[in-house]
Amino acid sequence: MPTSRNLENRRVVLTARPIGIPQAAHFAFDTAAVPELDDGQILVRNRYLSVDPAMRGWVNAAANYAPSVPVGDVMRSFAAGDVIASASDLFRAGDLVSGMFGWQRYAVVAAPTARAVAHRDLPLSTSLGVLGVNGVTAYWGLLGVGQPKAGDTVVVSTAAGAVGSAVGQIARLKGCRVVGIAGGAEKARLCRDMFGFDAAIDYKADDFSAALDAACPQGVDVYFDNTSGAISDTVMSRLAMRSRVVVCGTASIASWEPWPGGPRVERHLLVKRARIEGFLLFDWMDRYDEAVRDLAAWVRSGQLRYREHVLKGFEQAPDAIAMLYRGENQGKLLIEID
């Protein structure tokens, strides 16, 4: 019977409930014993912790698609590591896994909640980004909900980010014309030069609206929305007939208390017979592996490129979500535990 060998677990716990974006002050480190494994559990040593925009929603009090992390609990997050002990037939020591392991050194989880990392030829960190939640979100959000057709104009916001850059590249692989919206000229350049977008626009520039018109002369057939807010409002007034808007995130909204307003969408939808639909990866978990297979093949062939911004050292975790919302990261934000 495997044991946890009296390991000491270093953890990041939520110490106060943030309104809006969680800051370093909302977290603290503690240590706790790693519990013995029950039947069916595995012990994972985390190597990489994921930092995702959705984590804001997991700690806010407002109703969300998942229960809020209780104050005092380990911060919820995706993570990847290796199995160091198993009381399950599903995994054995040495297997690589990813899952909702939390911001902690060691995680004891029910084996079926962990996902085997099959692509051992590729860096483990990719299982949290381009071959993980970000890539799979891009894949099913775009292909499952956005349903682009060859020749469509696809616009994506936070285009240089982990999800956005994958959305644009997948859309290109499907024969679409791809226009990215990103914050700053450097990120826009990256969309064009590294990720191969047909056009990319800095939404902070004065001529954003005119630049979007120029980049989308036939209007917008698919809008993959990671931001909400003024960026989305600008795109919504340029929808093409029968266009589809995938609402995947609301990164530009600092807080939903009080609830923010914006231009009404009904007339756009009516005139263009357009559709807006919310996308959440959890609804597509039964098709996760299908996406990872395609994504991994595209990474190996060089058709799908990605960037990672790896913070070295566990101590960087508490500020990491705030850093993400400050837009300081250059690619998928990860924490590598020594």
Residues that bind a second copy (CB under 8 A): 63-65, 225, 228, 232, 247-250, 253, 256, 259-280, 283
What's the one-letter identity of residue 179?
Answer: V
Report in angstroms how near the CB of residue 279 gets to a second copy at its nearest: 7
Report in angstroms how near the CB of residue 332 gets to a second copy at its nearest: 21
Cα 324 to Cα 87, 107, 185, 236, distances in angstroms = 36, 24, 18, 25
Q: Indicate the residue among 173 and 280 with the shorter CB distance to a second copy.
A: 280
Q: Indicate the residue among 24 and 269 with the shorter CB distance to a second copy.
A: 269
Cα 310 to Cα 49, 161, 185, 315, distances in angstroms = 10, 14, 23, 13
Region of 158 on the Ramachandran plot (φ > 0 left; ψ -120 to 50 alpha; else beta): left
Cβ neighbours of 6 (radius 10 Å) = 8
Contact 136, 288 (CB under 8 A): yes
Q: Indicate the residue among 138 and 248 with the shorter CB distance to a second copy.
A: 248
Question: Is omega for the bond preceding 258 within 30 degrees of 0, making it cis?
Answer: yes
Report in angstroms how near the CB of residue 90 gets to a second copy at its nearest: 29
Report in angstroms how near the CB of residue 73 gets to a second copy at its nearest: 21
Q: Indicate the residue among 69 and 117 with the shorter CB distance to a second copy.
A: 69
Q: Indicate the residue among 101 and 279 with the shorter CB distance to a second copy.
A: 279
In 3D space, the residue among 100, 55, 106 whose CA is nearest the CA of residue 82 turns out to be 106
Report in angstroms how near the CB of residue 164 gets to a second copy at its nearest: 16
